[in-house]
Structure 1
Amino acid sequence: MSELEISRSEKKKKKKQRSGDEAQTGEPDSAQKDADFMIKPQSFTPSIDTSQWPILLKNYDRLNVRTGHYTPLPSGFSPLKRPLAEYIRYGVLNLDKPANPSSHEVVAWIKRILRVEKTGHSGTLDPKVTGNLIVCIDRATRLVKSQQGAGKEYVCVARLHSAVPDVAKVARALETLTGAVFQRPPLISAVKRQLRIRTIYESLRMILRSGRKLC
């Protein structure tokens, strides 16, 4: 046999060995799906050989003696064995809300599509606003209040009346809109039209296109 044939036969043997090892070990995904990963209860306490331990660890094994006997409870699921209904029951949807429908309408649609009892969102977005709307389902609705205090961040496009030659003027104008600001809701609004105070923590100018009068 030539050297090429010998090398090819050796490569084939190595491939067979690798495939055999993979078949014996199995993939981790299949192992997680098939195995229970549960510690089986024991009615006895195994003895520990402390003859080779140093003197400072004398009687150390007697400090905490606890048997391995317990009653396994049929509750909970491993992540890969958890049913889809359980995921939905404790689910939180990170939704990109489109323009025009209100937040209440979007939440009602999700409730009807998923056929769940309760849905709630972590903060109202105006109908014309698009962006992140967090929707909690069933048992997760109790987390809504913890998310409502996280604050909001808006990205908008402002159209200027004329071209601005100095960029510093725009920065100074944004500084005046930072902090406690008086605000009145528009004519078409779901809340009462009364003067109120809203706190704006920071306003940043990302892009200024003076030729197109956009900011």
Structure 2
Amino acid sequence: MNYDSGNGLIVPTGEDPLEFSTSFTPITFPAPVSHPTWYSSRGADRIWRLVEDGAPGTWRIQGQINQPLGSGPRHIATRGNMLYTLHELASTLTQQLIPPAPNGTTPLIANFSILPPGLPEGAAMAAAEILVAEASLDFPAPYIYVSNRSTWRRDRHFQVEPELKLLKYVYTGLDQIRGMQLGGPQKEFLIASGVAGDAGVIMLRRTEGGADLELLTGNLDVPTRTSFVWLD
């Protein structure tokens, strides 16, 4: 997704999955200020629904899911028939049923502020990343983990079942966490870094069945990163 120009690409692979195809068509999102990130549009307060339109690499906008005005949806996650949206400008996490295509919305089932208590004066807050960890042998309940692009540097945890609720804030020491990723056989590890500062890359381990995180190690040789891909 191209943040400033308001368009993006879905690039297919060729017969060899290790090679990208050269056949793809840009998607332009029709909004005066779109700022697309992962098929949501922070500037237009909507989530775009895309469908494949013919050959691989050719997609079109099917419709949209409107979000609260001024919320700035940044990243989304789906689980079953539920849509979880992290809103950058409002610093909120919302839950709603995925509405029928193509257009429309559904009432919010949950709408949580992810701002931690006791913010220092002048702290800049902006929600960033959302991850869903399903239940497994060592983690009997599913959890949602969200990060915050801020100078206050905290991570948040939400329990998903039987209802979405805030569990805990975890101080990471990172400055403006944009990207983080779960990995390991049971998604027991979480790697994260900030886009600013000098705290480097850290590795956390999920504990208490997923309800908490503990710091395992850090690497200061890589001061900042914005995203990760975990290869199991």
TM-score tier after normalising by the smaller chain length: under 0.3
More helix, by proportion: 1
How high is the TM-score relative to the length of structure 2? 0.21
More strand, by proportion: 2
How high is the TM-score relative to the length of structure 1? 0.22
Relative contact order higher in (CA < 8 Å, ≥ 6 apart): 1
